[in-house]
Amino acid sequence: MKRFIAIVWVTVRQTLSPKRAIGLMLLSGSSAGIYLLYMIGTRGTSGRNVETAFETSIGMTVGVFMNIIVPVVTLIIASSVLGDERRDNTMSFLVLRPIRRYTIAVAKISAAFLEAFLLTGIGAAAFGILVGIAIGTFSYFVPLLVGTAITTAAYAALFVPLGYLLKRATLIGLTYVFIWENGIAAAVPALASLSPWRIGVSAMAGLAPDDFFNLVPADFALGSLTPGAGGALAKALVLIALAAAFMAAVLRRRDLAT
Amino acid sequence: MSDRTGVVYDLGYQPYEGQRLGRVGAIKAMIKDGLRRTFGIRRKARKKVYPWSMVALAFLPAAVFVGLSFAISSFAPDTDSPFGGHAEYIGLVGTVIILFVASAAPNLLISDREDGVLAVYSSRPLTAWDYIWGRAGALAGVAAAFFLLPNLIMYVGFAALDDRGLASALLNNSDDLIKVIITMVAYVVGYGAPALLVSTYARRVGPAAGTYLAVIFISPAFAEMFRNLNFAGSRYGTLISLLQHPEVVRNWVFERSQSNIPMISVGFEPWLSAVIIGLLGVGTVYLMARRYRREL
Amino acid sequence: MNDNPALVADPTVEVTGVSKWFGQKVAVSDVTCSFGPGLTGLLGPNGAGKTTLLRMLTGLILPSQGEVLVKGALPRAEVDRFRDLGFVPEESALYNTLTARQYVAYAATLTGLDQPEEAADIALETVELTGDANRQIGGFSKGMRQRTKVAAALVHNPEILVLDEPLNGTDPVQRAHLIKLFGKLAARGHTLIVSSHVLQEVERMTDRVIAIVDGKLAAAGDIGAIRRAMSDIPYRVLIECDKDRQFAAALLNSEAVYSVTVDDSRLRLETSDLLGLGSLVAGLARELDVRIVRFAPEDESLESVFRYLVGGR
């Protein structure tokens, strides 16, 4: 356990520089910032009531926050947790230790999740608080946080191995997010179960009151997924386990220096 | 006395006696190096895959449709091809330019910092501005070529098929070419400047490319959000869409409908996009100068 | 008794028929050797394959052919084997945001030591970095970075230490200290494999070398014995004496002496028979009443041996 925590701690220190943290925090908090502007701009006007504020928040959640901001923030963090070790030539320090490869893989994915969720979670929390104030109830706060956590975890699992294996991981990850997830998978509902952010939205829909599910554009945001936090969590955990097993196999079988 | 003779040649340091090309030569050399780098020339084969794939993506459709027009008499390019004209083709090329500069700009700027060769440049008769113009020039030149050449293929090719004859068609359609050139400037600056700006400050090539693409592709979503939110001042938020400003200029120049673009739908004039692109270009050059004057 | 100088009697690390290629490039070709307690120098010019070989010994990369055994097992067979291994790579391998103490303590934690901070302090004291232990590695000089890596490799007192250019960037005082440290570890029975370009220092550290040229094993064993095995290359000997020209003329009469150069009371000879030359010089000196001030072989050094191996004679 000590070794696991040590790997996570050092990884977070190495990959989350102040500049990067500020930049990603701004991105993560942009939804909250824009919603705040919306709240200020429509205060006391007929343009805003509980229904419109709620609809707007759902639009922002599935139109920007969950499908773009969370994957992009997680991609930038996750692709560097092992990718940077490889490019900075510190892999030998890590792998020539009496630590199971699976432990290293899980520690790295955990570090990526913790770092990314620190940022996306704060963004989600800020957004959730503002939505709660605007619509008069905080019953969506926890579902939003849970959905964000599951989405972040799923993307961390996907992007950590990508960052290790590919030099252009960020480019390819973005292609995956913008073209596959927001393009192809949007057009084919059956592919939704392969889309981490939709898994997160299904968790949200499962935990939130029914009117959330009624207002969510189901074809785009859920596809063939049924709402349910348990199912979403299970899917994310399966992804994490598979990613960790894959990374462990890579660390066991492949050359670890070039 | 012996008549055997001999001579010893001094093979020591021999100073260069050839032509010295000066700063212009240095800048040209930098542009040439930049072009080689972006296209992977004199580098490993895998460095060529991405840039030349982009070249194929930009040029092949134009070449194919011009070819089809020549080969099949019943093929009418303006109705049978998905690219009815220059304006539509520019939409395709615009995407290719984004993907190309996302990779090219970091390779041009970040590699020099990563490899520590700025010190080598600074020991030459090159100023920071020479470096900036050399690198920006290479990127702009390539992006412009991506833009202009396929459109030239279409321009000349379809003119050759014109019933009025090549020369007449070229002359009569010359305003199309002017429009293409104006739009080219908007696209090259509009997409190239942010790429250079990100690459000026980013530490690594991969994240720089990713950050640039993220900003370019996320900004329309935010603009759409601002359009839909409809609160006091929200219309100004539609101006953050970096992806769409060159498109606005294209539509303006080619007199196309703009209603689907957030900033136009909320009442802004198209010339504002041209101003924003201009400011982006100037701002990028200024920030690059600030950064590189410290290092060179 | 072992007839093959590349093999030791009681090996901890065994390399058998190992080759490694990267695409078309063969980095190491059919190397067989072994390493045991004590210090072995691994020599070779740039690009010879030393780093590749060292990486295979640690298990960082896998051989394309052949086998590496560390204490009788494959390096990656069980992760617990890494408790016995310490590696100082040539490349940076440092986390710039950590202090030296944090970095070495991290190494200790990852290796499973109970008291990583205390172990780190001891390791840092060993490499004389205690004063800078709380500074960030990012601000270190090259020598300090090198010593930090050595400290991290030593912190868990491994039985086997693999060091790739450990003296790089160190000043003469630091170098002397590290050499002394390696000597102590070797004397205590640790297996040290040190790759270095600083041949004079390798010579000070050890008599046993493995030389790699173009990926192949070029020589192995005791430095002097390797030199003697190069029987096709005449020995160069320096003699300082009075009556230099008279002595030179007398030496030239001997068949064992190929050439003599006279330079300001120094004679430089080339001979095929070093031992016989000794008797010849003594006899002639008595006969001609010549006072010999110095008699020294000039090319029994590691540098000379290395030059012959690499320079293709």
pLDDT at A20: 86
pLDDT at B1: 46
Domain that holds residue C235: 230-311
Domain harbouring C269, CATH code: 3.30.70.100
Interface test with A, best of B53, B200, B225 (most A CBs within 10 A): B225
d(CA C61, CA A258): 8
pLDDT at C181: 92
Query: Which of these three, C203, C224, C245, is where a domain ends?
Result: C224
C77 touches A at CB < 8 Å: no
d(CA B41, CA B43): 5
B35-53 residues labelled b (16+ CB within 10 A) or e (exposed):
bebbbbeeeeeebeebbee
User: Do C and B share at least 3 CB pairs under 8 Å?
Assistant: no
Which tokens sit at A29? Answer: 């908090």
Which of C87, C92, C97 lies at the smallest CB-CB distance from A96?
C87
pLDDT at C1: 41
Query: Which of A21-30, A109-118, B73-82, B233-242 is the most confident on average?
Result: A109-118
Pair (C138, C190) in one structural domain: yes
Residues C36, C38, C44, C50, Cα dihedral to 10°: 50
Residues of chain B with C-beta less than 8 angstroms from the C-beta of A179: none
Element (H, E) at C274: helix C274-288
C152 touches A at CB < 8 Å: yes
Q: Would you say residue A243 has pLDDT above 90?
A: yes
The verdict on a CB contact (< 8 Å) between B210 and A167 is no
pLDDT (mean) for A32-42: 85
Query: Which of these three, C208, C224, C240, is where a domain ends?
Result: C224
- Give partners of C (≥3 CB pairs < 8 A): A
pLDDT (mean) for B201-219: 86
Return the higher-pLDDT residue of A42 and A113: A113
Contact C113, C162 (CB under 8 A): no
Q: Residue C266, SS3?
A: strand
Pair (C78, C129) in one structural domain: yes
Q: Nearest chain B Cα to A171, which residue?
A: B210
B230 touches A at CB < 8 Å: yes
* Average pLDDT across chain B, whole number: 85
Range in B128-132, B165-169, B191-195, B282-286 with the lowest mean pLDDT: B165-169
ipTM of the complex: 0.87
Q: Would you say residue B80 has pLDDT above 70?
A: no
A45 touches B at CB < 8 Å: yes
pLDDT at C312: 57
The verdict on a CB contact (< 8 Å) between A95 and C111 is no
The verdict on a CB contact (< 8 Å) between B228 and A167 is no
Q: Which residues of chain C have pLDDT under 70?
A: 1-2, 231, 300, 312-313
Domain tally for chain C?
Answer: 2
Q: What is the DSSP string of C89-153?
A: -SS----TTSBHHHHHHHHHHHTT-S-HHHHHHHHHHHTT-GGGTTSBGGG--HHHHHHHHHHHH
C81 touches A at CB < 8 Å: yes
Return the higher-pLDDT residue of C116 and B63: C116
CA-based R_g, chain B, Å:
24
Contact C223, C39 (CB under 8 A): no
Pair (C180, C73) in one structural domain: yes
The verdict on a CB contact (< 8 Å) between A59 and B103 is no
Pair (C195, C240) in one structural domain: no
Contact A190, A224 (CB under 8 A): yes
pLDDT at A103: 94
Residues B175, B178, B184, B189, Cα dihedral to 10°: -130
Residues of chain A with C-beta less than 8 angstroms from the C-beta of B228: 56, 59
Domain boundaries, given as residue ranges, for chain A: 2-253
The verdict on a CB contact (< 8 Å) between A10 and C152 is no
Q: Is residue B16 part of a domain?
A: no
The verdict on a CB contact (< 8 Å) between A64 and B206 is no
Domain that holds residue B179: 22-295
Residues 6+ apart with CB under 8 A from A65: A31, A123, A124, A127, A148
Question: Which pLDDT tens digit goes with each residue over B119-177?
Answer: 888 877 788 888 898 899 889 988 898 888 888 888 888 888 777 888 888 888 888 88
The verdict on a CB contact (< 8 Å) between C61 and A256 is yes
The verdict on a CB contact (< 8 Å) between A257 and C83 is no
Q: Is residue B195 part of a domain?
A: yes
Domain harbouring C20, CATH code: 3.40.50.300
* DSSP-derived pairing of the beta strands C25-35 and C13-22: antiparallel
Interface test with C, best of A9, A81, A96, A115 (most C CBs within 10 A): A96
pLDDT at C2: 53
Q: How many Cβ pairs closer than 8 A exist between chain A and B?
A: 83
Question: Which pLDDT tens digit goes with each residue over A192-212?
Answer: 777 899 999 999 988 888 777
Pair (C28, C170) in one structural domain: yes
Distance from CA of A4 to the nearest CA of C (A): 8
pLDDT band at B74; cut points 50, 70, 90? low
* DSSP-derived pairing of the beta strands C208-213 and C38-43: parallel
Q: Is residue C66 part of a domain?
A: yes
d(CA C233, CA C227): 9
B260-279 residues labelled b (16+ CB within 10 A) or e (exposed):
ebbbbebebebeebbebbee
Interface test with B, best of A170, A178, A180, A220 (most B CBs within 10 A): A170
Range in A237-241, B156-160, B196-200, C308-312 with the lowest mean pLDDT: C308-312
Q: Residue C76, SS3?
A: coil
Convert chain A into a string of H (helix), E (strand) and C (coil).
CHHHHHHHHHHHHHHCCHHHHHHHHHHHCHHHHHHHHHHHHCCCCCCCCHHHHHHHHHHHHHHHHHHHHHHHHHHHHHHHHCHHHHHCCCHHHHHCCCCCHHHHHHHHHHHHHHHHHHHHHHHHHHHHHHHHHHHCCCCCHHHHHHHHHHHHHHHHHHHHHHHHHCCCHHHHHHHHHHHHHHHHHHHCHHHHHHCHHHHHHHHHHHHCCHHHHHHCCHHHHCCCCCCCHHHHHHHHHHHHHHHHHHHHHHHHHCCCCC
pLDDT band at A46; cut points 50, 70, 90? low
pLDDT at B77: 56
Query: Which of A30-44, A48-62, C154-168 is the most confident on average?
Result: C154-168
Q: Is residue B100 part of a domain?
A: yes
Q: Residue B16, SS3?
A: coil
Range in B59-68, B179-188, C6-15, C239-248 with the lowest mean pLDDT: B59-68
Return the higher-pLDDT residue of B83 and B240: B240
Domain tally for chain B?
Answer: 1
pLDDT at C231: 66
d(CA C145, CA C142): 5
Which of C59, C93, C112 lies at the smallest CB-CB distance from A93?
C93
The verdict on a CB contact (< 8 Å) between A42 and B211 is no
d(CA B138, CA B39): 11
Distance from CA of A160 to the nearest CA of B (A): 14
Distance from CA of A179 to the nearest CA of C (A): 34
Interface test with C, best of A5, A80, A95, A97 (most C CBs within 10 A): A97
Q: What is the DSSP letter of C33?
A: E
Of chain B, the percentage scoring pLDDT greater than 70 comes to: 92
The verdict on a CB contact (< 8 Å) between A97 and C111 is yes
Question: Which pLDDT tens digit goes with each residue over A80-92?
Answer: 999 889 888 899 9
Residues 6+ apart with CB under 8 A from C163: C87, C88, C150, C153, C182, C192, C193, C194, C195
Interface test with C, best of A15, A19, A93 (most C CBs within 10 A): A93
**Global pTM value:** 0.81
Q: Nearest chain B Cα to A69, which residue?
A: B218
A41 touches B at CB < 8 Å: yes
pLDDT (mean) for A235-250: 94
Pair (C239, C203) in one structural domain: no
pLDDT band at A113; cut points 50, 70, 90? very high
Query: Which of these three, C190, C224, C258, is where a domain ends?
Result: C224
C60 touches A at CB < 8 Å: yes
Q: Would you say residue A145 has pLDDT above 90?
A: yes
Residues of chain A with C-beta less than 8 angstroms from the C-beta of B210: 72, 75-76, 79, 170-171, 173-174
Amino acid at A189: P
Q: Would you say residue A234 has pLDDT above 90?
A: yes
Distance from CA of C198 to the nearest CA of A (A): 24
Contact C208, C38 (CB under 8 A): yes
Pair (C210, C255) in one structural domain: no
Residues of chain C with C-beta less than 8 angstroms from the C-beta of A7: 110
pLDDT band at B94; cut points 50, 70, 90? confident
Residues 6+ apart with CB under 8 A from A211: A54
